[in-house]
Amino acid sequence: MQTNQSAQHQASYKRWTWIIALILALILLWMLLTGRGPSSACCEPLVSTPVNEATIAPSTEITPSAPASDEFSFTATQSDVTSTGDASNAVWLAQADKLKAILSGEDLRAQGDDKKVLLSGIVDSEEIKKQKGADAQAFFGPAITIDNQFVVKASGPPVAASSPPAAVKLYFASGKTSLPDDASTSLAAIIEWLKAHPESTAVLSGYHDSSGDKAFNQKLAKRRAESVEDALEDAGIDDDRIDKRKPESVDGGADLAEARRVEISIE
């Protein structure tokens, strides 16, 4: 009984195998006949498609940028002025002789561009350096930076004075004890002598005008002398080398401006 069932199963299996194989063969045949087979894509001849030049987008035309204008630069001496580049903004070139005059001296030179100018060379004094720097600034104008690198010529050792400087007068405002603006300049020679001659002494005498209360004015004259004393001490002069000496008459005279003074002398 079991043998018969097994034989039936095998027969059924074979029958369905043939049916499936037949179906697959029919499907494959249909695909080949209709051109839908798997080999149609790989075996078709390649067909080149002509390119229409009119359909190609034209390339963007690149216009070469105009070359940048040459940067301006110059070099000037007392005998010559040369420049390169775009000088359209250097309006001063039309007055180059004035620049030559500023550069008169020992190998003085100016060089730079339309924004900054370097001054170089040797001058005789600090005053000349400052003056030539100011002249150059006025010549080029405020838009140009002046780099003043002039070198002041070294001078020999100062010659010692053979006699003390003359007495100095400092004039004060009415009712004031603060030093006048020119005090440092007026006292410079006195201070220099005192430093070079430690044996010398500064003598201070204060005066006042004839207006107002006399007792108050005498105190005012003393306080003015003390202001000068403070200035000398600040400059390095010892207090014991400063003698505040009251004059016989502190009334400075009829000229009120002349009367309000402190006299400084050397002994």
Average pLDDT, the chain: 80
What is the share, in percent, of the chain residues with pLDDT greater than 90? Answer: 25
Average pLDDT score over residue span 241-252: 75
pLDDT score at 223 = 92
Domain at 168-266, CATH class: alpha beta
Average pLDDT over residues 158-181: 82
CA distance 4 to 15: 17
Sheet holding 242-244, edge to edge: 168-171, 261-266, 202-206, 242-244
pLDDT for residue 63: 47
- Whether 183 contacts 225, CB under 8 Å: no
> Does residue 137 have a pLDDT over 90?
yes
Residue 265 has pLDDT above 70, yes or no: yes
- In percent, the amount of the chain with pLDDT more than 70 equals 78
Cα separation of the two ends of the chain = 161
Q: Is 122 exposed, middle or buried (0-12, 13-18, 19+ CB in 10 A)?
A: middle
Higher pLDDT, 2 or 185: 185
* pLDDT score recorded for residue 65: 47
Instruction: Using the predicted structure, report yes or no on whether residue 241 has a pLDDT greater than 90.
Output: yes
Q: What is the model's pTM?
A: 0.41
Tokens of 192: 């220099």
Residues facing residue 81 across a β-bridge: 76
pLDDT over threshold 90, residue 215: no
Structure tokens at 114: 């339309």
* Mean pLDDT, residues 167-187: 88
Q: What's the rounded mean pLDDT across residues 141-163? A: 78
pLDDT of residue 239: 92
37-78 confidence digits (pLDDT tens): 555 444 455 445 554 544 444 444 444 444 445 789 999 998
